[in-house]
Amino acid sequence: MEKKHSPVRQRLKEWYQEAKAKKGKKRCSLDVTSCFAPLLRWVISLLPRNIGQIALAFDATSIGDKFVVLSINILLAGCGIPIAWCVVKATEPGSWKPHWQQLIEKLKDVIPESFDVIAAADRGLYADWMYQMIVDAGWHPFLRINHQGLVQIPPSDIWLPLADIVQHPGQSWSGKVICFKTNSLESTLLARWDDGYKDPWLILTDLEPNSADALWYGLRPSTECVYRDIKSDGWQWHNTRLLDPKRAERLWLAIAISTLWMVILGGENENQSPLANLEQLPPQHVAFSKPPNPKPLRQISCFLLGLLSLIADFLNDIPIHLHRWSYFPNTPVNQFYYPNSS
């Protein structure tokens, strides 16, 4: 049955409004936090049966002087899916600690105990209380820190500058440490400085030094793709005219589910794409100038590929569908999947 544009638009608008702003009796407000655990269960149910590792990213993004969105994103195939979030006014004073605590509380009992979970965050979000919250949730913190500060390497009681752990590109180090003279933290420090990077990666985790790899932090930049997909590449969130944080949180539920849908469609499409047939090319072709790559870099993100696939389906009258995730490769035990690109 066809509906006119105006009634449909009004129904969608009322979906993110609070109860008192809606017309009619028995209206209610959506408590978006009640959706975080079911959303994460849904994502986990879509993963292949052989997946036993999950990477989460903690991050904050701002929309001008309107909002700051604190979000926990699950990282998949070079993309990220928001699974828990809180929207605060950009000028609102106060600590973010209670917000992060609530988000972790909503998710901590959802992921099966058999899963290995790393929770990554960039330097701006490091705090000793966040490290402990992640550990208490049964996850493994993977928190990047600045190279300012001091560190002890037991059994020595001498404080050394963090900047001295790796001093040149090409160096790496890992070991048990006591980090920071103030608010000290006993943890494992993973240090790595790759060529082409301005600064080294210094990462604190509770994993044993021989059980973790600093390269896993390379998963976290996938969360940057989350905001690109939510903003300019996809849902144009940066152009929102909403002013109320609670309304924005409800809108983010639609954004999160839509993002999940696009990434899955893109993964299906990528998985079904035929491999390049090099046999038909002449020997002098540029394709033979480099060694073959068994995992070729993506030319387009899973999100954008999914969005294009959806548009193509609409143009070809193909029904909307959401199949089981079929992209993830087989992953060796105790090794996190390191994506080729975003």
Q: 88-140 pLDDT, tens per residue?
A: 998 888 899 999 999 999 999 999 888 999 999 999 999 999 999 999 999 99
- Mean pLDDT on 17-33: 75
Q: Is the pLDDT of residue 55 over 60?
A: yes
Q: Please state whether the predicted TM-score (pTM) of the whole model is above 0.75.
A: yes
pLDDT band at 266 (very low <50, low <70, confident <90, very high): confident
Let me know: does 36 contact 98? Beta carbons within 8 Å: no
> In the numeric block, which tokens belong to residue 333?
């035990």
d(CA 215, CA 154): 24
Residue 99: the pLDDT is: 96
| HEC sequence for the chain | CCCCHHHHHHHHHHHCCCHHHCCCCCCCCCCHHHHHHHHHHHHHHHCCCCCCEEEEEEEEEEECCCEEEEEEEEEECCEEEEEEEEEEECCCCCCCHHHHHHHHHHHCCCCCCCCEEEEEECHHHCCHHHHHHHHHCCCEEEEECCCCCEEECCCCCCCEEHHHCCCCCCCEEEEEEEECCCCCEEEEEEEECCCCCCCCEEEEECCCHHHCCHHHHHHCCHHHHHHHHHCCCCCCHHHCCCCCHHHHHHHHHHHHHHHHHHHHHHHHHHHHCCCCCHHHCCCCCHHHCCCCCCCCCCCCCHHHHHHHHHHHHHHCCCCCCCCCCCCCCCCCCCCCCCCCCC
- Band the pLDDT of 338: cuts 50, 70, 90: very low
Q: Which residues contact 101 (CB under 8 A, 6 or more apart)?
A: 133
Among the ranges given (169-178, 245-254, 281-290), the one the predictor scored with the smallest mean pLDDT: 281-290
Q: What is the rounded CA–CA span in Å between residue 213 and residue 194? A: 13
Radius of gyration of the chain (CA): 22
Phi/psi of residue 44, nearest 5 degrees? -60, -40
Confidence band for 204, pLDDT divided at 50, 70 and 90: very high
Tokens standing for 91?
């000028």
- At 295, the pLDDT band (50, 70, 90 cuts) reads low
Mean pLDDT of the chain: 82
Q: What is the pLDDT of residue 283?
A: 65
Mean pLDDT for the stretch of residues 286-304: 62
Q: If you average pLDDT over residues 192-205, what whole number do you get?
A: 91
Question: What would the mean pLDDT of 46-62 be, rounded to a whole number?
Answer: 86
The mean per-residue pLDDT over the stretch 316-326 comes to 70
Distance from C-alpha of 62 to C-alpha of 75, rounded to nearest angstrom? 20
